[in-house]
């Protein structure tokens, strides 16, 4: 844990807003710049900041390694699963138009789910890589 009080206080102040901004980028990717990839990185950076200031052990307690591995796989599985769901509903693989009567509506659902999958995998991978690197002592 960092000995500097300013760092600890500022980190505590910033972390909720970074998480919120990550969620905003995730949900707002249809309308503005951003999407699952950037959102995942921003979301992960809040946890990495926590780990930098309060120590990797504490971060490991917040984000335990085992569920992290599950989340890494879950994101990709969600993306691929959306493709199979489209197949099951009579479209081509990843053809989101099959999800609803109107193509635009189906695409909206598909893009939302797919971007969420990207965000979950990216943020879990980033946190995992950081914890793995920083948790190793020389």
Partner 1 sequence: MAEERRKGRRLITTGHDLVLLALILVTTVAIVRIRNLVAVVILLGLYSLLMASVWVVLDAVDVAFTEASVGAGISTILMLAAVVLTGREEKASRRRPIAALLIVGATGAALLYATADMPPFAAADNPIHRHVAPRYVSDSPEEIGVPNMVTSVLASYRGYDTLGETTVIFTAGIGVLTLLGGRRRRPEDRG
24 binds partner 1 (CB under 8 A): no
26 binds partner 1 (CB under 8 A): no
- Evaluate whether 35 touches 29 at the Cβ level (below 8 Å): yes
Element (DSSP H or E) covering residue 117: helix 103-134
CB atoms within 10 A of CB 66: 7
What does the block give as tokens for 13?
Answer: 């102040």
| Selected binder of partner 1 within 53, 79, 85, 91 (CB under 8 A) | 79
Residue 90's φ and ψ, nearest 5 degrees, are: 95, 5
C-beta closer to partner 1: residue 12 or 105: 105
C-beta closer to partner 1: residue 8 or 128: 128
- Residues binding partner 1 (CB under 8 A): 25, 29-35, 37-38, 41-42, 44-45, 48, 52, 57, 60, 64-66, 69, 72-73, 75-76, 79-80, 83, 94, 96-97, 103-105, 107-108, 110-111, 114-115, 117-118, 121-122, 124-126, 128-130, 132-138
């Amino acid at each position: 844990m960092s000995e500097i009080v300013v760092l600890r206080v500022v980190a505590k102040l910033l972390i909720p807003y970074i998480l919120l901004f990550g969620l905003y980028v995730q949900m707002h990717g249809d309308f503005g710049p951003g999407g699952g990839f950037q959102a995942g990185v921003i979301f992960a950076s809040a946890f990495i900041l926590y780990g930098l200031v309060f120590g990797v052990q504490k971060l490991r307690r917040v984000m335990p390694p085992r569920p992290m591995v599950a989340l890494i796989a879950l994101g990709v599985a969600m993306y691929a699963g959306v493709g199979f769901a489209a197949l099951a509903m009579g479209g081509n693989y990843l053809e989101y138009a099959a999800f609803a009567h109107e193509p635009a509506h189906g695409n909206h659902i598909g893009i939302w789910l797919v971007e969420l999958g990207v965000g979950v995998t990216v943020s879990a991978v980033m946190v995992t890589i950081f914890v793995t690197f920083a948790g190793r002592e020389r």
